[in-house]
Every structure is written in structure tokens, then in C-alpha cells.
Amino acid sequence: MEPLPPLPFFHTKEDFHEKYHNPALWKPFVLAICNIVGIVLKEIHPVPAGDEGASPVFIVNREVVVKLYTHASEDDDGEEVYEKESASSRVLAAAPKDVADLVPILRFSGTLVDERPNGPGFLHYAISDFLEGVPMSKLWDTLSTNQLTSFARQLGSAIYKIHKTKVPSGSGYDFLESSNWTKYLLKEKARLHEKFVVKYKSLPEHLVLQLDTYIPDDISAFVGPINLCWIHADLHRMHTFVKVDHEADTAKLSGIIDWGDALLGSPFFDLAVIHIDQFYGDKKLLQEFLMGYEAESKKDGNESIYRREDFVYRMMVNLLLFPFNQFLNLKRQTGIFCVFPEMLKAPNFEVMAEFLFKITY
């Protein structure tokens, strides 16, 4: 095998995102990994998912997917993501079959090491089964109302089952411990102004001024009696895969990928983000989703989550505490204010929350 070239390093995330899907750049490393695990590399293609992921991901021979956990920029910690996804894989491996069937099976994981003084150092990797289906981000505009409704209902059922997945205690990972959730929310609360004013500039000034009064002062009390569960925490359209049959007018949820942000947290965190990032605020699809979620919860004798009196408030608070930009992403033309520009003039978060999340039944 030829010596490995230096591991690519990029000084900005923009430079990284322009090149991280380039097979030629990463092929020597993918080839070395395939040799280690006994896979003959015949063809390599970038995974047709997002444009701004944190890890290069490639389909090999249309049989497996190779994910590389890089230190590709100064603020990118590939080792941390690798550890989190490795722990998540162990949780999912013990999940019920109907949950495990939606997750690509992890076949191999390890570390490619180069001990030369000027070599690339180390590169963590994971190899999982190739997932049948297409990301919803590529399909959404081609689907019928019936297909979208069916997908929403299936997703609701699947997310409830994921939320019911048992998380082992004493794993050694903070994000799998219940005490971490309050710390997580406190951290996000502390960076609200930096997020909305400096980084994303996505909230109008009159709403920025209301953040401190709308978000609860006592986060511990806010978490309160809510049962924490295993959540994905980044369920946008690029992370859900679907098999479509246009002649039969069907759309079958076939997989959910990218568990690097998963943790023990509130179910509302997933539900709020799904409504904005999957359904782009379509309340008919949210209602179908919640009906699928509710149908499964009734089997366990649990309350209907969206019939809670504080449902709308909890959805809005969790959306505001979500670490990424849910309000205005001009590059992708997504977010609340792209879909509903009239909400820029919402007088307060209470009005916006009712508009986004209030379900009539």
C-alpha cells in the first residue's frame, strides 16, 4: 500500500465544507481503512446528504458507508463525535428490532494511525451497512399529500419508539446521564444572545429583548417531572431516509442516520425541531406525526404528549434552546421566518408559539 498523504486540514469551516465530500481527497484514507477490514474498494461516492456536515462520509461499492471523524479545522473535534456516535451505536444495538431496523448496522470501527513524524496522525472511522432509500431533503417536493401524510405518521411512531429505548446507566459518558440535561440547557440558555444576535442574527430586536423573560429562570424546575428519554436531537430532512413508490403513492420510512448529537433529554426537544426542520412548520403534518406518536404511547398507557396544557410553551422553549438556527437560514432558505415571514412581526413568543404549535383536536 502506498504511503498515506498528510491528513487534510482546513483553516475555515467554509473551506472544509466546499471539499469534504471530494472522494479524491479522502480516497487514500478510505482505501487504507478498507484494506484493514478486508473490503476491496471498487467504487466510492459521497453520501448524498447535507452540504454542511461535520464528517466526510462515503458509500463504498454500494454495500457499506465509511464515515471519517476528522480534525479538519481548528474548532472541529472529530474524536468527541466519534466517541459519542460509538456510544450511541451501543444504545441502538440494544434497541427493539423495529427501532434497530431503522438504523444502519455498525460493522467496523477503529482508528487509522500513522506514526511518522510528519504523518497525518490518527483518523477515527466507522463502517456501517449501506442504507436503502433517499434522504427526505432530496424527495420532499416530489411527494404527494398522501405520501407526506403517511411519512409523518410513520415518523411519529418511530420517534416514540426511539424515545422509549432504554439507555444504560453508568456508561461513563455524561450525555447518557440524566443530570447532564439540565447542564445542557443551562449552557444553551447562557449563549442565547450570542446565538441569535452575533452568530445567526436571526431574531428581530423586539424578540431578542424578550428572551430573558420568556425562557424560565429555573431550568431545573422547568425540566422538573418530564421523563427524560433517548433523543436524536438533530432530526432534519437530511437525516431521514425514505423508499418511495410513486405508482403506488407510498413513502416508507427506511432509516434515520447521524446520531452524533443524541443524548438523554426531553422529548419536546426532538418534537420541536422535527416540526421546523422536517415539516417546515406544516401543522397538518405535525398533527399526523403526533397522532403516530400518540398511537404508540397509548399502547404503553402513557398520556398524549400534545394534549398537555403546557405543550405549546415547552415546544417553543425547547426550540429556542436548540443550538442551531431554526429561525432564519438564508443560505438554505429555511427557518421559521423564511416560511412564515409574517412571524417577524409577531409581538411576542407567546403569539409565535400558538401560531407554530397549537394543535386543535
CA angle 43, 47, 52 (to 5 degrees): 140
Which has the closest alpha carbon to 30: 57, 48, 53?
57
304 touches 156 (CB < 8 A): no
Name the β-bridge partners of 255.
241
Q: How confident is the model at residue 191 (pLDDT cuts 50, 70, 90)?
A: very high
The reported pLDDT for the residue numbered 211 is 96
**134-357 CATH:** 3.90.1200.10
Outline which parts of the chain fall under CATH 3.90.1200.10. Answer: 134-357
Residue 20, pLDDT > 80, answer no
Q: How confident is the model at residue 323 (pLDDT cuts 50, 70, 90)?
A: very high
Outline which parts of the chain fall under CATH 3.30.200.20. Answer: 13-129
Is the domain 13-129 a CATH 3.30.200.20 member? yes
Question: Between 12 and 241, where is the model more confident?
Answer: 241
Determine which of 19-33, 46-60, 217-231 has the lowest per-residue pLDDT on average.
46-60
